[in-house]
């Protein structure tokens, strides 16, 4: 699996790539839309009307080994600096490619990995998403 983020006006950045030992795990990928729900006088069921505004979240984590423990904090600072950036996200898994236009990086979290020690760090990314093609 490979995940690339291209901020608006910026260059593509690899956030995870299994082929390069930059391990990726998708935690959540989903969407929802706004539904108007109305009671109908004498009706057996509620009336539902789609109102659009489709959106959701894409949450994943990636981890890799850095040259030193200190470097993990320097890299986290870089990731933290991407918060609130809008752009495009592309996930490729084998022959399947998902392209997310107009995403916004909502959250980054440094993850402690108890199975590894030293200079291994994981980052959990949360992107707000709208369209997937």
Angle, CA of 99, 102 and 105, to the nearest 5°: 95
**Range of the structural domain that residue 87 is part of:** 2-132
Please determine, for residue 120, whether its predicted confidence score (pLDDT) is greater than 60. yes
From the number of C-beta atoms within 10 Å of its C-beta (0-12, 13-18, 19+), residue 124 rates as middle
pLDDT (tens digit, 9 = 90+) per residue, 36-83?
999 998 889 999 998 888 899 999 999 988 888 888 899 999 999 999
Please state the domain count of the chain: 1
Q: Given this model, what pLDDT does residue 110 score?
A: 92
Please determine, for residue 107, whether its predicted confidence score (pLDDT) is greater than 70. yes
Q: Given this model, what pLDDT does residue 14 score?
A: 96
Q: Residue 94 belongs to a domain with what CATH number? A: 2.40.30
Q: Given this model, what pLDDT does residue 119 score?
A: 81
Q: Given this model, what pLDDT does residue 113 score?
A: 62
Look over the chain and give the mean of its residue pLDDT values, rounded to a whole number.
Answer: 91
pLDDT (tens digit, 9 = 90+) per residue, 71-82?
889 999 999 999
Q: Which residues contact 21 (CB under 8 A, 6 or more apart)?
A: 64, 65
CA-CA distance, 84 to 121, in Å (whole number)? 22
Q: Given this model, what pLDDT does residue 70 score?
A: 86
Q: Given this model, what pLDDT does residue 53 score?
A: 84
pTM score of the predicted model? 0.86
Q: What are phi and psi of 80, to 5 degrees?
A: -60, -35
Q: Given this model, what pLDDT does residue 13 score?
A: 96
87 vs 99, 106, 113, CA distance in Å? 11, 12, 29
């Amino acid at each position: 699996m490979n995940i690339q983020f291209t901020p608006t006006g910026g260059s593509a950045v690899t956030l995870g790539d299994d082929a390069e030992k930059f391990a990726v795990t998708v935690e959540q990928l989903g969407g929802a839309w706004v539904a108007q729900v109305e009671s109908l006088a004498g009706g057996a069921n509620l009336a539902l009307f789609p109102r659009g505004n489709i959106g959701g979240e894409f949450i994943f984590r990636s981890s890799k080994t850095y040259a030193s423990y200190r470097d993990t904090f320097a890299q986290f600072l870089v990731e933290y600096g991407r918060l609130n950036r809008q752009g495009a996200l592309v996930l490729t898994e084998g022959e399947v490619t998902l392209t997310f236009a107009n995403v916004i990086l909502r959250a980054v979290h440094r993850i402690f990995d108890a199975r590894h020690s030293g200079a291994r760090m994981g980052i959990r990314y949360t992107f707000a998403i709208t369209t997937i093609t």
